[in-house]
């Protein structure tokens, strides 16, 4: 269909051959990486900056199940939320036409982890543990963000160019269509890595613990890394289920005792007593050579940091710097839905010195168990678990009046519930007044 | 000017041709325009559910409060309400937001900001206007600053920016001043807009884009 409007304003069409594989004018497909029952994955070139990405193209006509579409949306939302973990494949963009959905994701140059196992056989314990640690770290991050993968399988464990594990297809793999055909046996005859409680469920949508199901899959992955094969491998599904429930599998003699113990505890057919992903962090075999958790930098994880920091070197604010602080001009508000008070921002004024306030913020942050970071322009980042705050001290009248901006970057609800009162009480000494205190606190006002 | 304008009082029509036109005129793709429609629908039904953004709704989105007067919300509203008919229509919303796109030209951002701050639409920003805006910001944040301190901040700013010495800031001077103080343009860029398809992905189910 030819749009016939404003011809002179139309961008000139990209110079391509008629059989071009450029999609939506932005990405050039260069290579087919793989195909599933309803999607194909391509390597592609980003035309604007030359970077390599992967594009997963979902054929809408094959996603006949109406329940699947909202799930695709939910999973996009989940992948977006899980953006910050180094071992989770990042999603860059979603595009769609009438017939197809395109998910543009990070390109994992190292391919599938299990292709490596197929080629080279079992991994030495140290190498296997490193991948396993990265997988467990990614899963723990997901679970803490309320997402379970539920269907980890070989195709979903990728490696980047540096050999780091990337878990892909968060949740997308757990779509109902796959539960019907692709789940129990993949095309090449490998039983999927699915927990017995899901296998048994057979369309019965009774709830199960997704995190525990992921722990099961972890056990299978670890076994596969160390043994080079799968513990349960039977094309007869009921028979395989019986073997699973009897724990009927053998360890190759080269697998060490502590590693066997971990696998045994993860491959517990009963999800109630199965070792959890969290509990692995108490296991000494698992913890060996464990790199400290990548604590996301407060500043790195704030997509709006660049625009959030007013870029003023504290001193000598000009009139427009002050004006820029108006909430009425902060259009980020259009995109934010939050229950954090009335805004994601809390402000207070102070007549202490800049250095005093900054020192106090760092001190109280530290006392409350936050990681304290100092960003560009002297902004202070406070991070604890999911909660991330950026505190900026702005001098309105030199030597006389400061305004301090406390912005919640992540975890607003948790912050409000757990830390806000403590932080507020701790800062009391340097606060002249808090701005826009609402909702009013239900405590009796003590009159001075 | 625009031939696919939405009529006041009518719910927003999802006209594919209109989306193509918007995409060709802005930094957005058709998919992004479709995603923005979800945001628009959400904002435009917050107070009065008629599919148009009223001032109260903009106020609610920015201040989480639909009744408090705010000079800058009024200014932003007037800037977005290109046709000046008291509501922000979808086409106006998309065209205005496109200026806030990280890829939009700095010239457009500079020009938009100047018109935003030119609260009397006189073609310049004078001492009184600047002071009014500073006081509005301070009042909004419950900050009390002695008048002479405000005066001196305003005077100093005018002095820095007013290169021809007529006591006020015109468009050309504003451009130079922003050149020296690039942080003033930060509020003119919304990184969110790069992420809009991920933030509002439901367009994938009803997109009218034909093929790649």
Catalytic residue check, A209: no
Instruction: Report which secondary-structure segment, H or E, holds B208.
Output: none
Interface confidence, given as ipTM, is 0.89
Query: How many C-beta neighbours within 10 Å does residue A312 have?
Result: 21
Instruction: Report which secondary-structure segment, H or E, holds A106.
Output: strand A100-106
| Residues in chain B closer than 8 A to A80 (CB atoms) | 195, 198-199
Residue B96 contacts A, CB cutoff 8 Å: no
For residues A218 and A277, the answer to whether their CB atoms sit within 8 Å is yes
**What whole-number distance in Å separates Cα of residue A214 and Cα of residue A190?**
18
The Cα of B208 is separated from the nearest Cα of chain A by a number of Å equal to 6
**What whole-number distance in Å separates Cα of residue B157 and Cα of residue B153?**
6
Q: How far is CA A358 from the centre of its chain?
A: 31
**What whole-number distance in Å separates Cα of residue A59 and Cα of residue A98?**
10
Residues 150-209 on B with a CB inside 8 Å of A are 153-154, 156-158, 160, 181-184, 186-187, 189-192, 195, 197-199, 201-205, 207-209
The pLDDT profile of chain A, 448 residues, written as one tens digit per residue, is: 333 333 333 344 444 443 458 887 889 999 998 887 778 889 999 998 999 999 989 888 876 566 677 777 877 877 887 877 899 999 999 999 999 999 999 999 998 898 888 888 999 999 999 999 999 999 998 887 777 777 777 678 999 999 999 998 765 544 333 333 333 333 223 455 677 777 666 544 456 677 888 899 999 999 999 999 888 877 777 788 888 888 999 999 999 999 999 999 999 999 999 999 999 999 999 999 998 775 666 676 554 444 344 444 445 688 999 998 888 898 988 887 643 344 567 888 898 988 999 999 999 999 999 989 888 777 899 988 778 888 988 888 888 888 898 888 777 777 877 888 899 999 999 998 887 654 433 333 333 3
Return the number of CB contacts < 8 Å for A and B.
201
Taking CA atoms, B197 is separated from A54, A94, A172, in Å, by 17, 6, 17
| Residues in chain A closer than 8 A to B3 (CB atoms) | 5
User: Which listed residue (A49, A151, A209, A429) is catalytic?
Assistant: A151
The model's pTM is 0.79
Half-sphere exposure of A435 (CA within 13 A, CB side): 26
């Amino acid at each position: 269909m030819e749009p016939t409007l404003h011809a002179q304003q139309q961008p000139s069409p990209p110079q391509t051959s008629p059989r071009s594989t450029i999609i939506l004018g932005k990405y050039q497909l260069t290579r087919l990486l793989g195909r599933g029952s309803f999607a194909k994955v391509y390597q592609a070139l980003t035309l604007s900056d030359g970077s390599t990405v992967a594009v997963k193209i979902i054929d809408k006509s094959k996603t006949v199940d109406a329940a699947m579409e909202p799930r695709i949306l939910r999973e996009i939302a989940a992948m977006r939320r899980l953006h910050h973990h180094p071992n989770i494949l990042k999603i860059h963009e979603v595009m769609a036409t009438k017939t197809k959905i395109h998910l543009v994701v990070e390109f994992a140059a190292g391919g599938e982890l299990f292709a490596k196992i197929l080629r080279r056989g079992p991994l030495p314990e140290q190498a296997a543990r490193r991948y396993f640690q990265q997988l467990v770290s990614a899963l723990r991050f997901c679970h803490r963000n309320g997402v379970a993968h539920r269907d980890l399988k070989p195709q979903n464990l990728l490696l980047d160019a540096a050999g780091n594990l990337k878990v892909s297809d968060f949740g997308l793999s757990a779509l109902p269509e796959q539960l019907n055909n692709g789940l129990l046996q993949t095309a090449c005859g490998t039983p999927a890595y699915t927990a017995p409680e899901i296998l048994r469920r057979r369309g019965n949508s009774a709830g199960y613990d997704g995190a525990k199901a992921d722990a099961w899959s972890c056990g299978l992955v670890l076994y596969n890394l160390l043994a080079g094969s799968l513990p349960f491998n039977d094309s007869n599904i009921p028979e395989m289920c019986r073997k699973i429930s009897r724990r009927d599998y053998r360890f190759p003699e080269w697998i060490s005792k502590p590693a066997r113990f971990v696998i045994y505890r993860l491959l517990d057919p009963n999800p109630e007593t199965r070792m959890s992903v969290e509990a692995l962090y108490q296991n000494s075999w698992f913890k060996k050579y464990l790199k400290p958790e990548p604590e996301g930098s407060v500043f790195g994880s704030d997509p709006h940091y660049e625009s959030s920091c007013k870029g003023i070197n504290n001193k000598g604010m000009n009139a427009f710097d002050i004006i820029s602080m108006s909430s009425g001009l902060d259009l980020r508000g259009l995109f934010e839905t939050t229950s954090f008070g009335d805004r994601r921002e809390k402000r207070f004024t102070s007549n202490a010195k800049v250095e005093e306030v900054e020192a106090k913020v760092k001190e109280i942050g530290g006392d409350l168990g936050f990681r304290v970071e100092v960003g560009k322009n002297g902004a202070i980042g406070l991070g604890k678990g999911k909660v991330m705050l950026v505190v900026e001290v702005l001098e309105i009248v030199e030597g006389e009046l400061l305004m301090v901006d406390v912005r919640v970057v992540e975890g607003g609800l948790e912050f409000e519930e757990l830390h806000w009162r403590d932080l507020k009480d701790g800062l009391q000494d340097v606060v002249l007044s808090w701005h826009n205190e609402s909702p009013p606190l239900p405590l009796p006002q003590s009159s001075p | 000017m625009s031939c696919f304008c939405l009529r006041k009082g009518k719910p927003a029509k999802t006209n594919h041709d209109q989306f193509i036109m918007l995409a060709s005129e802005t930094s957005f793709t058709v998919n992004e325009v479709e995603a923005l429609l979800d945001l628009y629908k959400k904002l435009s039904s917050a107070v009065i559910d008629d599919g148009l953004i009223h001032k109260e709704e903009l106020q609610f989105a920015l201040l989480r409060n639909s009744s408090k007067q705010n000079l800058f919300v009024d200014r932003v509203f007037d800037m977005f309400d290109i046709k000046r008919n008291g509501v922000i229509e979808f086409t106006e919303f998309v065209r205005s937001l496109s200026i806030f796109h990280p890829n939009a030209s700095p010239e457009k951002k500079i020009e938009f900001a100047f018109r935003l701050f030119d609260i009397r639409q006189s073609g310049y920003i004078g001492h009184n206007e600047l002071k009014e805006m500073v006081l509005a910001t301070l009042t909004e944040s419950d900050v009390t600053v002695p008048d002479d301190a405000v005066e001196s901040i305003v005077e100093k700013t005018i002095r820095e920016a007013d290169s021809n010495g007529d006591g006020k800031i015109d468009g050309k001077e504003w451009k130079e001043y922003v050149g020296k103080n690039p942080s003033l343009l930060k509020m003119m860029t919304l990184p969110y807009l790069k992420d809009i398809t991920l933030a509002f992905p439901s367009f994938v189910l009803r997109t009218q884009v034909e093929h790649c």
